[in-house]
Amino acid sequence: MRQYIIAANWKMNKTLEEGQKLASEIINIVSDEVKSDAQVVICAPFIHLTAVKALIGSKKNIFLGAQNVSNKESGAYTGEVSAAQLKSVGVDFVIIGHSERREYFNESNEMLAEKVDLAIKHGIRPIFCCGESLAQREQGVHIDFIKSQLTESLFHLSEQDFLKTVIAYEPIWAIGTGVTATIEDIENVHNAIKERISKPLLYGGSVKVENVREICQIPNVDGALIGTASWKKEDFIKILENTKDL
> Where does this chain bind ligand PEP (CB under 6 A)?
9, 170, 175-176, 204-207, 225-229
Nearest residue relative to ligand PEP (C-beta): 227
Compare residues 1 and 12 and give the one whose CB is closer to ligand PEP.
Answer: 12
Q: Least Å distance between CB 234 and ligand PEP?
A: 16
Could you say which of 100, 107, 132, 170 is catalytic? 170
Beta carbon of residue 125, minimum distance to ligand PEP (angstroms, whole number): 16
48 belongs to the catalytic site: no
- Residue 230 has what DSSP assignment? G
N- to C-terminal Cα distance for the chain? 7
Shortest spacing between CB 176 and ligand PEP, in angstroms: 4
Between residues 145 and 161, which has the closer beta carbon with respect to ligand PEP? 145
DSSP class of 44: -
Instruction: Output helix, strand, coil percentages for the chain, rounded to the nearest 5.
Output: 45, 15, 40
Q: Which is nearer to ligand PEP, 31 or 242 (CB)?
A: 242
Within 10 angstroms of residue 152's Cβ, the number of other Cβ atoms is 14
Let me know: does 128 contact 162? Beta carbons within 8 Å: no
Contact 224, 203 (CB under 8 A): yes
Residue 170 annotated in active site:
yes
- Cite the active site residues: 98, 170
